């Protein structure tokens, strides 16, 4: 372990920023600066939300003034605040008071009767019968029945309430009869472009809807009042802060969603930073009301988000070859489908490049990734070399040739390695087959061929638990205990970089976040153990004790 000497901080101590005494000194810690795998410090000093000294306890204490608060870490670990490189922060605002029907280990809904029991209990309350109720998180891949619930099963326990239950992937849903009517679907409804409204052999709605067919739910994802919006917004912030996240992402912001987050920022409600990426069809509208790339009270419009396909666990991701086990009612060569065709993808990628906006684009399937790569390569040819850091979100089934193309095109990947745990067995046995499943989230290829990457949890698909995120990337262990794709395991330090230093780089914020260095923002997380020192299988059990944003504590463990 290398303790940073005072010489590293000497220039800072002579700067204008450091002339006044620090507001806070954290001493006697195991401070992982993420400036090198062996780099450590014992103390850090903070003034006006910025780091002004990093080094040994003895040397940093020399900067102490009469008003400086000094806190003894007693050997606890400090790391840079975690950065959510992809998620959907704003989804928690309308969902905060909704029913969550996650399966184990996040919940208890492991069968259709278990879901029905939860729903029956929920709707026994005095709830509004005039609105569409949303439940979130069911997962057919791990239900005992290995299928989606249907409308009849929901009708049995929901009475005259309207309900739509969103799949854990966020790409599918199932509604009861009243819910289908509420969102405007009937037996006569036709499939929208890029989506499916499922019907049985008699042409009757089953309740299941896929991809763009779920968009009919979105106008119903609302809150009842400004007071409820503020309350739910703060619940969302507290959730992210509890997991050590100091910068969250809203990775598919509609114009109305951005309007809500902006109203919270304008009111001074943000405790953590939120980067918002406008949904591709709303991008130009959003630009009329917000400035691109600048923070305002903790909110930044960071760029554009495109959704190119669906989810592998929902078997709607757009693959170049068929699914290992084709979903019921599909032909044997079914391989998913895109949300946008090549012409549409070209148009929106060009729009992002024309406005010098960073683009993040969801591509789970390799065929969807081809559409994105083709469009980015055209935009590069048209607009010339620029540091655009276009990021492929999820990139689950990227082929080796695509890894190289992304690198050469100046792109990045943000992987979702938690798939190896939550759905790894299902991917191996049903979705992709053994070989393709072992190569999901191909971080080994990225390391070998020089593709920069981050890792994420895609909250609320999974909780924004960055230590679990790291654990899955390091171990790649499935629910059944099998290692899925040993070659693509990464080291604990690489995993820590992926949620701090490299995540800051993805966001064009490497000069102010992601490492513990003088001059950077004092975004820190205090942990009870060092993720670089414990056994790799213990990383997920590390506790977040405190989250510090710009020098202020925004979460403290009460246990």
pLDDT at residue 13 greater than cutoff 50: no
Domains located in the chain, CATH noted:
109-220 (3.10.310.70), 308-489 (3.20.20.140)
pLDDT at residue 18 greater than cutoff 50: no
**8 Å CB contact between 482 and 425:** yes
Q: Say what the pLDDT of residue 390 is.
A: 98
- The alpha helices in 123-243, defined as continuous H runs, are 151-158, 177-182, 226-242
Q: Which tokens belong to 57?
A: 């306890």
Residues near 170 by Cβ (< 8 Å), separated by ≥ 6? Answer: 88, 91, 311, 460, 461
Q: Say what the pLDDT of residue 368 is.
A: 98
Cβ burial of 263 (10 Å; 0-12, 13-18, 19+) is middle
Widest pairwise Cα distance in the chain: 80
Give the confidence band of 328 by pLDDT, cuts at 50, 70, 90: confident
Rounded-to-integer distance, Cα 537 and Cα 199, Å: 44
**8 Å CB contact between 420 and 482:** no
- Compute the Cα dihedral for 164, 166, 167, 172 and give only its sign: positive
Rounded-to-integer distance, Cα 279 and Cα 361, Å: 10
**Between these two residues, 55 and 13, which has the higher pLDDT value?**
55
Q: Which tokens belong to 184?
A: 């405007």
Kindly state the average pLDDT of the residues 68-82. Answer: 98
- Pick from 276, 318, 330, 278: nearest CA to 299: 276
Give the confidence band of 2 by pLDDT, cuts at 50, 70, 90: low
**8 Å CB contact between 380 and 407:** no
DSSP 431: I
CA-to-CA dists, residue 346 to 277, 308, 376, 379, angstroms = 18, 12, 8, 8
Kindly state the average pLDDT of the residues 310-334. Answer: 92
Q: Say what the pLDDT of residue 467 is.
A: 98
Q: Order the strands of the 544-549 sheet from edge to edge.
A: 2-3, 39-41, 30-32, 77-80, 524-527, 544-549, 552-556
pLDDT at residue 385 greater than cutoff 90: no
Give the confidence band of 329 by pLDDT, cuts at 50, 70, 90: confident
**Percent with pLDDT over 90 in the chain:** 92
Q: Say what the pLDDT of residue 224 is.
A: 77
Residues near 401 by Cβ (< 8 Å), separated by ≥ 6? Answer: none
Cβ burial of 1 (10 Å; 0-12, 13-18, 19+) is exposed
Q: Say what the pLDDT of residue 473 is.
A: 98
Rounded-to-integer distance, Cα 142 and Cα 425, Å: 10
pLDDT at residue 430 greater than cutoff 60: yes
Backbone torsion region of residue 222, taken as left when φ is above 0, otherwise alpha when ψ lies between -120 and 50, otherwise beta:
beta
N-to-C CA span, the chain: 30
- Pick from 126, 9, 98: nearest CA to 62: 9
Q: H or E element: which one contains 247?
A: strand 245-253
Q: Say what the pLDDT of residue 3 is.
A: 63
2-16, 146-160, 196-210, 347-361: least confidently modelled range? 2-16
Give the confidence band of 268 by pLDDT, cuts at 50, 70, 90: very high
Average model confidence (pLDDT) across the chain: 95
- Pick from 436, 241, 227, 421: nearest CA to 324: 436
Rounded-to-integer distance, Cα 343 and Cα 321, Å: 22
CA angle 508, 512, 513 (to 5 degrees): 80
Q: Say what the pLDDT of residue 4 is.
A: 57
**8 Å CB contact between 367 and 388:** no
CA-to-CA dists, residue 288 to 252, 292, 369, angstroms = 18, 10, 30
Residues near 442 by Cβ (< 8 Å), separated by ≥ 6? Answer: 395, 398, 400, 403, 415, 485, 488
Number of residues that make up the chain: 559
- Pick from 329, 110, 90: nearest CA to 223: 90
| Residue whose structure tokens are 């689950």 | 396
Dihedral pair phi/psi, residue 394, rounded to 5°: 80, -60
Q: Which tokens belong to 377?
A: 């390569």
DSSP 428: I
The predicted-structure confidence for 186-208, as pLDDT tens digits, reads as follows 999 999 998 999 999 999 999 99
Cβ burial of 28 (10 Å; 0-12, 13-18, 19+) is middle
Cβ burial of 134 (10 Å; 0-12, 13-18, 19+) is buried
The predicted-structure confidence for 350-378, as pLDDT tens digits, reads as follows 999 999 999 999 999 999 999 999 999 99
DSSP 137: E
Q: H or E element: which one contains 425?
A: helix 424-426
Rounded-to-integer distance, Cα 96 and Cα 433, Å: 36
């Amino acid at each position: 372990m290398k303790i940073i000497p005072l010489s590293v901080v000497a220039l800072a101590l002579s700067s204008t920023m450091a002339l006044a005494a620090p507001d806070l000194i954290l001493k006697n810690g195991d401070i992982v600066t993420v400036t090198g795998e062996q780099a450590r410090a014992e103390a850090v000093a903070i003034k006006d939300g910025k780091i002004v000294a990093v080094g040994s306890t003895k040397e940093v204490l020399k900067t102490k003034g009469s008003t400086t608060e000094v806190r003894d870490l007693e050997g606890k670990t400090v790391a840079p605040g975690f950065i959510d490189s992809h998620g959907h922060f704003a989804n928690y605002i309308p969902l905060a008071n909704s029913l969550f029907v996650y399966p184990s280990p996040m919940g208890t809904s492991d069968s259709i009767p278990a879901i029905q029991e939860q729903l029956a209990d929920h709707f026994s309350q005095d709830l509004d019968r005039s609105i569409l109720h949303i439940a979130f998180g069911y997962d057919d891949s791990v239900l005992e029945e290995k299928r989606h619930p249907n409308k009849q099963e929901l009708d049995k326990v929901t009475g005259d309430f309207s309900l739509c239950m969103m799949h854990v992937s966020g790409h599918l849903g199932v509604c009861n009869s009243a819910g289908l009517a509420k969102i405007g679907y009937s037996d006569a409804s036709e499939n929208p472009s890029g989506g499916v409204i499922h019907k049985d052999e008699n042409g009757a709605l089953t309740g299941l809807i896929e991809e763009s067919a779920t968009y009919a739910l979105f106008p119903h994802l609302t809150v009842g009042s400004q007071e409820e919006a503020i309350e739910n917004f703060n619940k969302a912030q507290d959730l992210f802060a509890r997991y050590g996240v100091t910068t969250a992402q809203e990775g598919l912001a509609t114009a109305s969603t951005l309007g809500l987050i902006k109203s919270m920022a304008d009111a001074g409600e943000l405790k953590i930073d939120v980067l918002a990426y406008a949904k591709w069809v709303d991008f130009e509208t959003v630009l009329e009301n917000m400035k691109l790339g600048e923070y305002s009270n903790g909110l930044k419009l960071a760029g554009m988000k495109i959704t190119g396909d669906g989810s592998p666990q929902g078997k709607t991701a757009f693959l170049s070859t068929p699914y290992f086990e084709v979903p019921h009612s599909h032909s044997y060569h079914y391989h998913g489908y895109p949300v946008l065709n090549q012409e549409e993808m070209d148009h929106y990628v060009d729009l992002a490049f024309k406005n010098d906006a960073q683009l993040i684009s969801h591509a789970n399937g390799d065929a969807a990734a081809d559409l994105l790569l083709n469009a980015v390569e055209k935009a590069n040819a048209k607009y010339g070399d620029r540091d655009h850091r276009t990021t492929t979100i999820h990139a689950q089934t990227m082929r080796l040739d695509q890894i190289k193309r992304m690198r050469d095109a100046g792109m990045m990947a943000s992987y979702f390695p938690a798939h190896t745990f939550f759905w790894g067995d299902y991917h191996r046995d049903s979705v992709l087959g053994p070989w393709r499943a072992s190569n999901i989230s191909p971080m080994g290829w990225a390391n070998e061929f020089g593709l920069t990457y981050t890792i994420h949890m895609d909250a609320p698909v999974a909780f924004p638990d960055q230590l679990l995120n790291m654990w899955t990337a390091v171990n790649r262990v499935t629910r059944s205990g099998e290692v899925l794709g040993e070659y693509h395991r990464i080291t604990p330090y690489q995993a820590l970089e992926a949620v701090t230093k490299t995540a800051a780089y993805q966001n064009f914020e490497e000069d102010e976040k992601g490492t513990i260095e003088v001059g950077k923002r004092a975004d820190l997380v205090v942990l009870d153990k060092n993720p670089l020192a414990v056994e790799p299988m213990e990383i997920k059990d590390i506790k977040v004790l405190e989250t510090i944003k710009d020098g202020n504590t925004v979460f403290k463990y009460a246990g």
